[in-house]
Amino acid sequence: MESTTSFLKNRYWVLRHGKSIPNERGLIVSSLENGICPEYELASEGVNQAQMAGQLFQKELKENNIPLENIRICYSPFSRTTHTAKLVASVLGIPFEGDQCKVIEDLRERYFGPSFELKSHDKYAEIWALDENDPLNRPEGGESVDDVVARLTRALATIEAQFQGCTVLVVGHGDPLQILQTILNAAKQHTGPNCDSLESRIQAVRTPPILSQHRKFALQTAELRAVI
């Protein structure tokens, strides 16, 4: 595996949560208040998916000679992501309450606003059409793509300040992980003045033509992907 990229101190993988009860019911659960409720954790199929993702990650670590003590699991506080992170940590044999696992609120699901909350999954198409047209535009009462970039940048800064030379698994949600991959992929390719720091690189690529394309990085439930 390549060494860490110059503007980052760690390597990053992403894992979308396993199939959740909201996924099974076809419901949008995007507010923090609803998202942390235990009744919205993983469905039984999602538990199996998360365990399989943990086994796949374990295999990747062995193949790349990455020791377990170098692993950090950073996850969203939602019940479906916490459940997924806990299962992966268990597969790896990492204590979930220990220093290697960290909940980061800025990794939470994108809030789609009250007109979408607890409504049908079919309404996602409306949001993604808005995003493609203008990623700075907020769904009423919700977060734009650019709003999510702002807090993902904070999340990354938090991780980078706490850990160095680690392999970080970010356990999150569909939209935020798409957006995270979009900005990191663009930041990696960016060359120009003032691009030494993480924040300056992200700022340079935080443009509508880049952000509007986040659906290219879509992940299935419990899909694991190396990012940077």
The whole-number average pLDDT for the span 119-134 is: 93
Q: What is the rounded distance in angstroms from the CA atom of residue 141 to the CA atom of residue 115?
A: 8
Q: What is the rounded distance in angstroms from the CA atom of residue 94 to the CA atom of residue 101?
A: 8
Q: What whole-number percentage of the chain has pLDDT above 90?
A: 91
Q: H helices within 118-173, ranges in order?
A: 124-133, 145-162
Query: C-alpha distances in angstroms, 186 versus 12, 86, 158, 202, 227?
Result: 15, 31, 20, 8, 11
Q: In 70-185, at which residue ranges do the beta strands (DSSP E only) sit?
A: 71-75, 101-103, 167-172
Per-residue pLDDT of 173-189, as tens digits, reads: 999 999 999 999 999 98
pLDDT score recorded for residue 191: 78
Per-residue pLDDT of 10-57, as tens digits, reads: 999 999 999 999 999 999 999 999 999 999 999 999 999 999 999 999
pLDDT score recorded for residue 194: 66
Q: Does residue 128 surpass a pLDDT of 80?
A: yes
pLDDT score recorded for residue 1: 41
pTM for the predicted model, two decimal places:
0.96
Q: Is-contact 119 95, C-beta < 8 A? A: no
The whole-number average pLDDT for the span 60-85 is: 97
Q: Does residue 81 surpass a pLDDT of 70?
A: yes
Q: Considering the chain, what is the average pLDDT of its residues?
A: 95
Q: Does residue 137 surpass a pLDDT of 50?
A: yes
The whole-number average pLDDT for the span 60-87 is: 98
Q: Is-contact 75 170, C-beta < 8 A? A: yes
pLDDT score recorded for residue 80: 98
pLDDT score recorded for residue 213: 93
pLDDT score recorded for residue 133: 94
The whole-number average pLDDT for the span 185-202 is: 84
